[in-house]
Amino acid sequence: MIIFPAIDIKGGKCVRLIKGDFNKITQYKKSPIEQANEFLNLGFKNIHLIDLDGALEEKPVNENTIKAISKISKIKIQIGGGVRSIDHIKRLLDFNVDKVILGTAAVENIEFLKKACDKFDNKIALSLDVRKGYIALSGWKKQTDILASDFIKKIKNVNISRIIYTDINKDGTKSGPNFQETVDLSNLTKIPFVISGGVSSINDVINVKKSKYQNIEGIIIGKAIYDGNIDIKQLSKII
C-alpha cells in the first residue's frame, strides 16, 4: 500500500482546508518545497500535490513550485488542480511528475478523459470528490447531481491508472476516512483506488494496510500530519 503525504499549495504556501472550504484555511510555516524534502528524508517516495489556485482558476498556477518539487530526486508526484487540457497535462508531465490528476474536466467530458488516458499511458489519475454520494467539481464549489457510483460504471473500462476518492465532508476533519464507501465504489471497477479525506490516526492507516481489499492501492494523509495528530516519523516506519 502506498502512503501519500499531501501538500496543498495556495499562493506558493503550504496550506490545508476543512471540507474544501477556502474560508477555513490554515497556512503552515514550511514551504511546499521544504515539506516535500522532509517527506523524502523520512522515506516517503510518493507525494499527493494539489494546486489549489489552479483548481480555482481552471489552469495550473503554481508551476514554479511544482517544477521545483518534481526535480527532487527519488520522489514521485501525483499533481492535480485546474488541469483542463491535453496541453496542461503535457506541460506537467514535462516537469517529470509521475501522474497528472484529472477531476472536473474528466467528469464533464468523458471523451477527454479517454483521450488523455490513451495518449498518456499509465499517467492519468482520476479524482472523484464526493459529497453525500454526489460528485463535486471546480475546487468542490460546483455540486453536481452525478452519483459517483454511476460515473464509475461509465468509466470502468477506461485506461485510468488510479482513482482518488475523497469524501469532502470528511476532508480536513480528522474524523476518520470513509473507508466503507471507498471499498463499495472500488468494487465497481478493477481500477485501483486511493482513500482520501478524514485520516485521523496511525490506526486509520494500519487498518487500511491490513485490509484484504486488493483494489485499495493507497491512502492520502494531510491535516493529521500537519497538526501533529500523526507522528510523521512513526508513520514512516509503516511505509
Give the active site residues: 8, 129
Say if CB 26 and CB 15 are below 8 A apart. Answer: yes
* Euclidean distance between CA atoms 86 and 163, whole angstroms: 19
15's CB contacts (< 8 A; 6+ apart) are: 8, 9, 25, 26, 27, 28, 52
On the CB side of 108, how many CA atoms lie within 13 Å of its CA?
12
User: Residue 50 is placed in which grid cell?
Assistant: 494539489
SS3 per-residue string spanning 111-123 = HHHHHHHHHCCCC
Taking residue 113's Cβ as centre, other Cβ atoms within 10 Å add up to 21
Say if CB 172 and CB 18 are below 8 A apart. Answer: yes
Taking residue 141's Cβ as centre, other Cβ atoms within 10 Å add up to 12
